[in-house]
């Protein structure tokens, strides 16, 4: 078991101006709504694919860790800090891929969730295809904000990925992290 919390997000990968252009909106009456939908679409894409899209900092809390550990929400850019029972660990670990850290020695806490790993994950330059997925989902959320269209209820894709348009799911499938 572990606890995972997002500490910060650098910036949304889609700007309000880009979203309005995609939605073909030229007024500012719904700027607040569209800004909220940008964040919602990005978070939904991240949750579906189990990844981090823009650069962000995550805090993972565990009871212990040993050997190779696959961190949630890749791609991992850097380990910012590791502590065990509030004592910083400065060596004996290394990032070995965009998903995994290798620990030379076991780290075990004396308190529940006492091993804390803070790390940066995501893309400094978000790939265009991920930005497009966010824009597509944003448009879907904007158009169906009153509820789900009737034709979606009987669509196979709706069963596989509820509330995820098929085109968005197809784009995200190549980035989707499969649980180990």
Whether this model's pTM surpasses 0.85: yes
- Give first-to-last CA distance, the chain, whole Å: 14
At 11 the pLDDT is: 96
Q: What is the CA radius of gyration of the chain?
A: 19
At 161 the pLDDT is: 55
At 97 the pLDDT is: 96
- Please state, in angstroms and as integers, the Cα–Cα distance from residue 5 to each residue in 57, 61, 99, following that order: 9, 9, 17
At 144 the pLDDT is: 83
Per-residue pLDDT tens, the chain, 180 aa: give them: 899 999 999 999 999 999 999 999 999 999 999 999 999 999 999 999 999 999 999 999 999 999 999 999 999 999 999 999 999 999 999 999 999 999 999 999 999 999 999 999 999 999 999 999 999 999 999 998 776 554 544 444 443 455 688 899 999 999 999 876
- Domains annotated on the chain, with CATH: 7-52+126-173 (1.10.3230), 56-121 (no CATH)
């Amino acid at each position: 078991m572990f606890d995972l919390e997002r500490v910060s997000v650098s910036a949304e990968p889609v700007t309000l101006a880009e979203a309005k252009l995609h939605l073909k909106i030229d007024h500012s009456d719904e700027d607040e709504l569209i800004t909220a939908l940008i964040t919602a679409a990005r978070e939904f894409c991240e949750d579906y694919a189990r990844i981090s899209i823009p650069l962000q900092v995550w805090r993972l809390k565990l009871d212990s860790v040993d050997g190779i550990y696959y961190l949630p929400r890749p791609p991992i850019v850097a380990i910012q800090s590791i502590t065990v029972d509030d004592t910083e660990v400065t060596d004996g670990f290394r990032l070995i891929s965009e998903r995994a850290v290798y620990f030379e020695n076991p780290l075990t806490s004396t308190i529940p969730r006492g091993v804390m790993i803070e790390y940066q994950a995501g893309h400094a330059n978000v790939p265009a295809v991920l930005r497009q997925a966010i824009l597509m989902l944003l448009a879907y959320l904007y158009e169906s904000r009153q509820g789900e269209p009737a034709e979606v209820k009987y669509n196979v894709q709706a069963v596989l990925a509820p509330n995820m348009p098929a085109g968005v799911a197809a784009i995200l499938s190549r980035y989707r992290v499969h649980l180990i």
